[in-house]
Amino acid sequence: MKKLSMHEALNLALREELKRDNKVVLLGEEIGKYNGVHYVTRGLYAEFGKDRVIDTPISEESFVGVGVGMALLGFRPVVEMMRMDFSLRAMDQIYNHMAKLRYMSGGHLSVPMVLRGPEGPGPNPGLTAQHGQQLTTLFAHCPGLRVVTPSTQYDAKGMLKAAIRSDDPVVFLEPGPLNNKQGDVGEDDYVVPLDQAEVKREGSDITLIGYGASVALCLQAARELEHDGVSAEVVDMRSIRPLDMRPALESIKKTNHALVVEYAWQSYGPGAEIVARLMAEGFWDLEAPVERVSGQEVPLPYAANLEELSKPQMDEIVGKAKQSLAQ
């Protein structure tokens, strides 16, 4: 193990996969000579050249479409969005081609490509309403896509490698608030399954469920609750499509209480789907309704103090957990 930031872990995954398979290619804006705005592709252009690390024009609909075409021809493209907000420019290519071509061809065609990039607020304030959105729901709603988001540096490396090797089209959402955080990363060639949730912290009184950046908030809240004698278990969903509900359902059999945390807007989001499945499949194990903490339903403010208030708060998680236990 060694300590790496999230973007360093992703860089390591890309380097290993470019070395392992000459069909892996990278496409995106300023990912080559400029080393990438978020430094995920730092050094890769110099090492692998312009035919493997391809700088594209500022035209998301064109280079996502090129990625789809390359995947159909047998390559394994990894397409970077400078921010996932910009994927809105390419939703026709994502929804109607990347996600659907295998189904529409009766399985004769496949699109083994990865669409990756940071989403949500950044590690520093000021991304504003059009650059710091959590668009997980848009991708997770579409059949044909795998949608995953890591919460740790270890998972970031292993899940990106698994995504590149997958024969399915994968949307890989990198949690913006965690981009510069340090964590343990394995130096060996490992992969993390794309369809398995994981218990990140054992507990016995209440289950805190998150994905991406919200898992860090859940762990912080669990440590705070421990000071008050409350043992909180933390489940990291990791995959948003498909959802692996088994660890969460097994957890609530033990704790009988649950709280779902997400940075996304609450209405119609992944958290709503998780709650619905908990209630449908684990109703008799619950002693209280499933609580929820999410981002405020406003465009992300520019002012730093207002941006902070728009995010899910650790104090709110602690308060909702105690409220659930009181029932």
Does residue 131 carry a catalytic annotation?
Answer: yes
Does residue 60 carry a catalytic annotation?
Answer: yes
Q: Are the C-beta atoms of residues 184 and 1 closer than 8 Å to each other?
A: yes
Which residue out of 7, 38, 97, 131 is catalytically annotated? 131
Which residue out of 60, 174, 262, 291 is catalytically annotated? 60
Q: Which residues are catalytic?
A: 60, 131
